[in-house]
A and B are shown apart, each in its own frame.
Chain A
Amino acid sequence: MSAEWPLWEIFIRGQHGLNHRHVGSLHAPDAEMAMRHARDVYTRRNEGVSIWVVPSAAITASSPSDKGPMFEPSQDKVYRHPSFFDIPDEIGHM
């Protein structure tokens, strides 16, 4: 058995009410061990209240070369932001 332990991506909820956030990765033979390692490697100082471990191989990432077609179309749609519209002062807060 010389197979290297697979890589896992670790997500931690820092506080109640917040999203889980990616904090890094680690090697582990299975999910249970990944969870134990994540606790030791990433929460030594109260960094979290909940951990997700995900096999890195299960993640599909957008490709850097698609950055233009993926994200540029939203740049010219300024009307998606509320600041695009003028609201008369008399109306007050809207």
Chain B
Amino acid sequence: MYAQMVTSEATQDDPEKLAAFQARIDAGEKIEPKEWMPEGYRKTLIRQIGQHAHSEIVGQLPEGNWITRAPTLERKAILLAKVQDEAGHGLYLYCAAETLGVSRDELTEALLAGKMKYSSIFNYPTLTWADIGAVGWLVDGAAIMNQVPLQRTSFGPYSRAMIRICKEESFHQRQGFDIMRKMATGTDAQRHMAQDALNRFWYPSLMMFGPSDKDSVHSAQSMRWKIKMNTNDELRQKFVDQTVPQAEYLGLTVPDPDLRWNAEKGGYDFTEPDWSEFFEVLKGNGPCNAERLAARQKAWDDGAWVRGGLMAHAAKQAAAPVAAE
């Protein structure tokens, strides 16, 4: 997902306090920033929300790649609005993380130093216009699978950020599907591009949910704390079940020869992605890791004088009336 393989932090708090905290969560209460919380809860959330925020920001890069080359002015305006939304999602999430006692600049610096991650999916290139369709349809589609249940997460600021984000996401998925539909019903060359985009984005989209975590202690702890609402396998299955009929509607073929409906379980059987590829991408060896981080580093460095200059201006303005007296 946008936050993949977040390991939960060990907690060494007073067992009585821990039990009372767990009881609040079990009762469906929201935890607010200034209230007592276990150190492990705080640290795991900073890592998870931070990673989610970084993904929203880095996720602008593959789509931003096509803004100047969108096929029509309308598509360009739509894509611009979509990418602008993602910037907003990043900001909502950084603010949620900041309520836990970390600053936005610290989070950005941790990302640039390679100490924090973003979703593996954004390390794949967007080679054709159809990829922009595939990203909206599949990548935002997978993100929605994960974000809808997270609206009920136990941490108040995270839950509220998710509610805002979910309101905006279905536009993202629909605009992507709309691009795919146009391409899939277009010329042979366009249909070919649409199929090629699906071929390349299918398995990386399945990887977004992370490897199976049914036996992971970290996931179990996060689920008890309602930081994580479903297992990775549950969400992946849901995503496949939702997406396969949509691909059929488009007349496209999901690149999985072993994909078939399993009436007994009421879902599709499908091939797992290549997890060794996933781990390589997480390690920094995906097709675009270096390019993405370099773009973030450049934006951070090139923006330094603007951030500093505006602060200096604000300080000068604040001092001005006093100096005039």
Contacts and interface: CB of A to CB of B under 8 A. Distances in A.
Interface of A: 1-5, 7, 24-27, 29-30, 33, 40-41, 44-45, 61, 63-64
Contact of A4 (B34, B81, B103, B161): B103
* Interface size class of chain B, counting residues whose CB lies under 8 Å from the partner chain: 20 to 34
B178 to A, nearest CB: 18
Contacts of A45: 168
Interface string B285-319: 00000000000000000000001111111100110
A1 B314 contact: no
Q: At the interface, is chain B mostly helix, strand, loop or mixed?
A: helix
A83 to B, nearest CB: 27
27 contacts: A1-B308, A1-B311, A3-B311, A4-B104, A4-B105, A5-B307, A5-B310, A5-B311, A7-B98, A24-B92, A24-B160, A24-B164, A26-B91, A27-B104, A29-B313, A30-B310, A30-B313, A30-B317, A33-B310, A33-B314, A40-B88, A41-B88, A44-B84, A44-B85, A61-B34, A64-B32, A64-B36
A8 B85 CA distance: 20
Nearest to B103: A4
Interface of B: 32, 34-36, 81, 84-85, 88, 91-92, 95, 98, 103-105, 160-161, 164, 168, 307-314, 317-318
B91 A41 contact: yes
Contacts, number: 53
A44 B308 contact: no
Contacts of B103: 4
